[in-house]
């Protein structure tokens, strides 16, 4: 009979070899499409500096989700044997905060940012793998663009040149995958680089369509980080920047037919458990900086390319199919959303003013109450003094009367 410990060791070793084989196959498939899980020497120095700037700061979540912060280590340990859904529920929110939650919590400047959870990218062409379906992805909402810009983008868009990756999200700039265990985080890295490379390719194809492949604006994007990704399990979190460079390949691979190769830059790796969780919120701080500093630059970059494209002509003989809804309905929905955003901002301002007014009233009431208490105390002291003086005067009168009676007698 086989020793159970030996059987377990053999089973574990077999799983590791199988996982290693699958990882090698995934990596080989990516490389066949011009995607490399490494850094290129052609990465721009400005992008490296950008990553350092985004790492700066020490912001942490204002409110820890679901459980007391002092029990985080216990939660992370338990997640080691649980599924990815638990990891995404209990850990991902304080590593990669929701931009929309921040917006509804008062960060009005993030209103143009949208996000999706496990939404398949049906509107774009994959790069050798299956269609991406990130655990969490952040990009631009339709409302980030003017009507004319939307018209241009809809006329431009095809699966090979995507505008909307999901029905509600365009041009992603941040993708996140959460997997359990060390094997899982390797898989997350592979999925992220595939998704991020598609997003990078979309920006470059937009610029090529607007200005031409050899234009200085298009060439200026080569070697520049255009998309970020986060991979994590219950112990580690990896941050990457993704970009493309000109290819030297001449073998006609599918991924290099445009003369581009896609790489990633290792920005940082943080432990969630070591050193008493010292680096636990470094990823959160990085993502907040991406929202505050990089996202607007990303939007301006897309708008710059759209400005260089040809305005769609409703009378033209051929037009790339847009969304199923009519243009007028989309415009009306956009106006309604803008009105709702304005109303939300007004409500937030009114609520802030009401709080401030209430605080002022409370302070004034407290001041008046304090003054009233002081007056009452002073009146009490005066009354007590008067009683004391009256008693003393009465005692003197009684003493005088008593003394007079003694003299008469």
Which residues are within 8 A (CB) of 161 and not within 5 positions of it... i.e. 6 or more apart?
Answer: 202, 205, 206, 209
Residue 204 is assigned to a structural domain of this protein: yes
Tokens 């095809």 found at: 158
Check residue 268 and give its pLDDT. 97
d(CA 205, CA 253): 18
Per-residue tens of pLDDT for the chain, all 409 residues = 445 444 434 444 444 455 556 667 878 889 999 999 999 999 999 999 999 999 999 998 887 667 777 787 778 887 877 788 888 898 999 999 999 999 999 988 999 999 999 999 998 999 987 899 999 999 999 999 999 999 999 999 998 999 999 999 999 999 999 998 778 899 999 999 999 999 999 999 999 999 999 999 999 999 999 999 999 998 999 999 999 999 876 554 444 457 899 999 999 999 998 998 899 999 999 999 999 999 999 999 999 999 998 765 544 333 444 444 444 566 566 667 777 777 777 777 787 787 788 888 888 878 888 888 888 888 888 888 888 888 888 888 888 877 776 676 6
Give residue 290's domain range: 20-324
Check residue 83 and give its pLDDT. 80
Which residues are within 8 A (CB) of 49 and not within 5 positions of it... i.e. 6 or more apart?
Answer: none
| 268, 55 Cβ separation under 8 angstroms | yes
Rg, C-alpha atoms of the chain: 34
Residue 237 is assigned to a structural domain of this protein: yes
Check residue 335 and give its pLDDT. 67
Residue 331 is assigned to a structural domain of this protein: no
Residue 197 is assigned to a structural domain of this protein: yes
Total domain count, the chain: 1
Residue 396 is assigned to a structural domain of this protein: no
Residue 129 is assigned to a structural domain of this protein: yes
d(CA 192, CA 123): 18
Check residue 180 and give its pLDDT. 87
| 301, 148 Cβ separation under 8 angstroms | no
Check residue 340 and give its pLDDT. 76
Of 120, 18, 134, 37, which is closest to residue 84 (Cα–Cα)?
A: 134
d(CA 129, CA 199): 14
Q: In sequence order, what are the beta bridge partners of 80?
A: none
d(CA 240, CA 265): 5
Residue 221 is assigned to a structural domain of this protein: yes
Query: CB neighbours (10 Å) of residue 327?
Result: 15
Residue 5 is assigned to a structural domain of this protein: no
């Amino acid at each position: 009979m086989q020793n159970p410990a030996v059987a377990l060791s053999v089973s574990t070793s077999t799983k590791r070899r199988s996982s290693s084989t699958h990882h090698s196959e995934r990596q080989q498939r990516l490389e066949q499409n011009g995607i490399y899980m490494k850094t290129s020497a052609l990465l721009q120095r400005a992008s490296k500096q950008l990553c350092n700037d985004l790492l700066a700061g020490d912001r942490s979540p204002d409110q820890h989700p679901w459980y007391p912060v002092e029990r985080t280590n216990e939660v992370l340990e338990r997640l080691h044997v649980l599924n990815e859904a638990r990891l995404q529920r209990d850990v991902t929110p304080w590593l990669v905060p929701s931009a929309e939650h921040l917006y509804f919590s008062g960060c009005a400047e993030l209103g143009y940012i949208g996000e999706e959870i496990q939404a398949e990218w049906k509107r774009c062409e994959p790069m050798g793998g299956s269609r991406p379906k990130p655990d969490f992805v952040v990009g631009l909402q339709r409302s980030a663009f003017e009507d004319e810009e939307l018209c241009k983008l809809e006329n431009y868009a095809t699966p090979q040149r995507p505008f909307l990756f999901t029905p509600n999200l365009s041009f992603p700039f941040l993708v996140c995958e959460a997997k359990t265990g060390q094997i899982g985080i390797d898989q997350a890295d592979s999925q992220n680089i595939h998704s991020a490379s598609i997003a990078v390719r979309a920006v470059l194809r937009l610029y090529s369509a607007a200005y031409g492949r050899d234009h200085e604006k298009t060439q200026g994007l080569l070697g520049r980080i255009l998309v970020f990704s986060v991979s994590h399990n219950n112990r580690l979190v990896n941050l990457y920047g993704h970009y493309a460079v000109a290819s030297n390949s001449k073998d006609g691979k599918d991924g290099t037919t445009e003369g581009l190769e896609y790489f990633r830059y290792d920005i940082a790796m943080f432990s969630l458990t070591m050193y008493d969780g010292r680096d636990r919120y470094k990823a959160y701080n990085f993502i907040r900086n991406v929202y505050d500093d990089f996202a607007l630059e990303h939007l301006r970059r897309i708008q710059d390319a759209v400005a260089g494209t040809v305005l769609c002509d409703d009378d033209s003989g051929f037009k790339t199919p847009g969304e199923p809804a009519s243009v007028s309905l989309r415009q009306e929905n956009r106006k309604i959303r803008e009105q709702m955003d304005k109303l939300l901002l007004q409500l937030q301002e009114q609520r802030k003013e009401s709080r401030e007014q209430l605080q002022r009233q409370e302070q004034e009431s407290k001041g008046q109450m304090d003054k009233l208490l002081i007056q009452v105390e002073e009146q009490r002291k005066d009354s007590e003094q008067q009683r004391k003086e009256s008693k003393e005067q009465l005692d003197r009168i009684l003493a005088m009367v008593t003394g007079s009676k003694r003299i008469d007698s």
